[in-house]
A and B are shown apart, each in its own frame.
Chain A
């Protein structure tokens, strides 16, 4: 069963592009990654799904119901964590969470306590006294307190320290085991890789790729930077799997995909001064996806 069905969704802001002809589905029980650089249209898609903005054309369904016609009904089962959390400043955390819970016809006080404990959140503080990370925690508790069937997260980890990220991911995995579907938007590949089953990659408002994480992991790119003692002969590193080769005297850099041993042997054969092997950033992978499309 599909929890989210997006069908040729387009959203434009006047002349500016939002998203163009976006279609994909999220199945029940999966953790679905939604990645792309800033301004790719991730938030636009999510805000359209939540009815904050209206689509220019196309449609979307959540739980099999149209997002516009059945908005309030759908939202009963959705928990949302925006990328930047803003709350009523003069409220206490406790009061805000109670207010949030009052929209759902169930008693959430026990769950609030549990979540606050896990996330180490002080309920008696005022919202405007909280740091960015602590506000984010309020957002997490607020998004999960009613046990939603669909959790939508828009770049949720910003502002959280690594320990809290860890706890948060564990929490998400627990919710997922209980049956919740999760739409996880991010521009950080590693966290998506860790959590998600499938991932949609968007850039400039368009869907570029929809893959299983396992497939994405196979395309394991590494960024090599090598400084040699003497200038290498041109084209020395030109081999299968090497992309974007740049040779500038003693400095060589390239993107490599394939058997790591082969390239290491190649490097070992020459006299080197220094070597860097890095995970390419997302932008570089996107560049690659573009090349593949051409």
Chain B
């Protein structure tokens, strides 16, 4: 319990800054929408004129931009990147920082097992991710609803945030597993975010090329795409199962390897 509370305190400041960033990103994204909407331009036409690769880069593919939910679908990709970067960094740093700052020689000689340390840190990290997600949810609903024009956006946003939460957990656990396995704690955070960016770029390349569709199983950014979640009838069970499997494997690897390996001191 003491480690859990300590971790919440240690991450409090960073979390507040991230949350301000979230509100700011949603807010500025929606103000752009307000500007576009009032100028009377049809965003669908505007986007349709763009080459397909550019459309893919903006993440438009198949979203109805005349509705605020469609616009939010585009914004969601950036929110998702932000949330997963936060989760991946948090997951790897919450574990590797003890070795990086050489405080493991303090913590690990206390009468606690490595499993207890892992569990406390994991709970604290999940708590952070939940707060992040709730802030995202509340600010999204609060800032999107004024433009809804009678459209009920809340169910869509709830669904998207649910998908985001699964991906947050996925990258959190992936980051933690990397920190648990890696013998070079200083590299754990950069490795985790590196993997994240690589899979994100892969997901864009899938959209652009249109021919490497099979790779969508490799990149989590394809698991809960806005158009699938909003127009395709919710979550695809294949991807939900895939996510759960990745999370479970990472969780197992974290506990297994962290118990086995020598700590860097």
Contact = CB atoms under 8 A, between A and B. Distances in A.
Interface stretch (A68-76, A167-175, A179-187): A68-76
Interface in A11-30: 13
B23 to A, nearest CB: 25
Contacts of B104: 52
Interface string A74-98: 1110101010101111100000000
A53 B183 CA distance: 12
B102 interface: yes
B103 A52 contact: no
Interface in B192-209: none
B175 to A, nearest CB: 21
Interface string B191-235: 000000000000000000000000000000000000000000000
A52 B106 contact: no
Given A86-B102, A88-B101, A103 B10 contact: no
Contacts of A159: none
Contacts of A142: 106
A16 B10 CA distance: 36
Contacts of A74: 111
B58 to A, nearest CB: 41
Given A47-B265, A54-B260, A103 B101 contact: no
A50 B109 contact: yes
Contacts of A80: 105, 109
Contacts of B109: 50-52, 75, 78, 80
B111 A75 contact: yes
A102 interface: yes
Interface in B100-123: 101-106, 108-113, 116
B263 interface: yes
Nearest to B259: A54
A50 B10 CA distance: 26
A86 B101 contact: yes
B103 A88 contact: yes
Interface residues of B, number: 21
Main secondary structure, interface of B, reads loop
A220 B202 CA distance: 72
Contacts, number: 61
A84 B102 contact: yes
A290 interface: no
B184 interface: no
Interface in A31-89: 47, 50-54, 71-76, 78, 80, 82, 84, 86-89
Between A72, A74, A90, the greatest number of chain B beta carbons within 10 A of the residue's beta carbon is seen for: A72
Contacts of B39: none
Contacts of A50: 108-109
Interface of B: 2, 6, 10, 101-106, 108-113, 116, 260-263, 265
24 contacts: A13-B262, A50-B108, A50-B109, A51-B108, A53-B263, A53-B265, A54-B260, A54-B262, A71-B113, A72-B111, A72-B112, A72-B116, A75-B111, A76-B111, A78-B109, A80-B109, A86-B102, A88-B103, A99-B6, A100-B106, A100-B110, A103-B2, A103-B111, A142-B106
